[in-house]
Amino acid sequence: MRRFCRCPMVRQLLTLSMAAITCAPGLFAQSDFEVTGQVEVLSGVASRPLPDASQVVVWLTPLSATIPTALPQPQKPLRLVQRHKSFVPHLLVVQAGSMVEFPNEDPFFHNVFSLFQGKRFDLGLYEAGSTRSVLFDKVGICYLFCNIHPEMSAVIVVVNTPYFAISDRAGHILIPAVWAGRYQLRLWSEHALTDDLKSLTREVNISESTHSLGTISLRAYLNQNASHKDKYGRDYDSPTPPGSLYMQP
């Protein structure tokens, strides 16, 4: 071993390797920041701030090749629960390649489907206490409904980055563990127009001195997907009568 380590060629390779590590610490040590921001939601008609600025999705797509985009393992399974004829939560953001569970916690059948943008699927009828899962492998906006209960709706936003957040009621945004570098900033809101969202897309640079997105103003209008058909493209039957807990397929 001593004879091998004294080899001039090996000593030269070791010296070059240590020099590379010293000169390029960013390749071996993570440098990340908490990226903050403020979303201001304006009335699309009156152009005045609304009291509720929640449910706005903000995400950063890396433009620098050195920024990692590996999918982190979630601490808990990603779930969109069916409870009291509602989806909980109403809005979910996932990275492409994520598996999402759809447990039915109601005492009757549900039929979750999405035939619009993003991932298209139909889970069929399944009973209380059972769960079905979907792999979201396509980037896009998925509008979800139940084929039995027209009042049920949810949205899953599938992005190609692990750096995303949803604004709270006060409009606060916090994206943790963002690496330094160049990103494309994008936003989405269920109440915004597509052209308005496109106009807010821009490039940002995250660094030790700059890791705030500042204030972003967004106009809100009525829900663009308030009216929808069932999975066959037909109008829904009459709403479920009050007190009718058990639905037959």
Which amino acid, residue 30? Q
Q: What is the pLDDT of residues 158-197, one digit of tens each?
A: 999 999 999 999 999 999 999 999 999 999 999 999 999 9
Residue holding tokens 């008609």?
45
Residue holding tokens 């640079």?
205
Q: What burial letters (b/e) apply to 148-178, b meaning 16+ CB within 10 Å?
A: bbbebbbbbbbbebbbbbbbeeebebebeeb
Q: Contact, 37 vs 30, CB < 8 A?
A: no
Q: What is the pLDDT of residues 205-223, one digit of tens each?
A: 999 999 999 999 999 987 6
Instruction: Decide: helix, strand or coil at residue 4.
Output: helix
Q: What is the pLDDT of residues 75-131, one digit of tens each?
A: 788 999 999 999 999 999 999 999 999 999 999 999 999 987 789 999 999 999 999
Q: What's the whole-number average pLDDT of the chain? A: 85
pLDDT band at 224 (very low <50, low <70, confident <90, very high): low
Q: Contact, 165 vs 173, CB < 8 A?
A: yes
- Distance CA(128)–CA(106), nearest Å, equals 6
User: 148-152, 225-229, 233-237: which has the minimum mean pLDDT?
Assistant: 225-229
- Distance CA(27)–CA(134), nearest Å, equals 35
Q: Contact, 67 vs 184, CB < 8 A?
A: no
Would the pLDDT of 237 be above 60? yes
Residue 226: the pLDDT is 63
Residues 6+ apart with CB under 8 A from 128: 104, 105, 106, 107, 108, 109
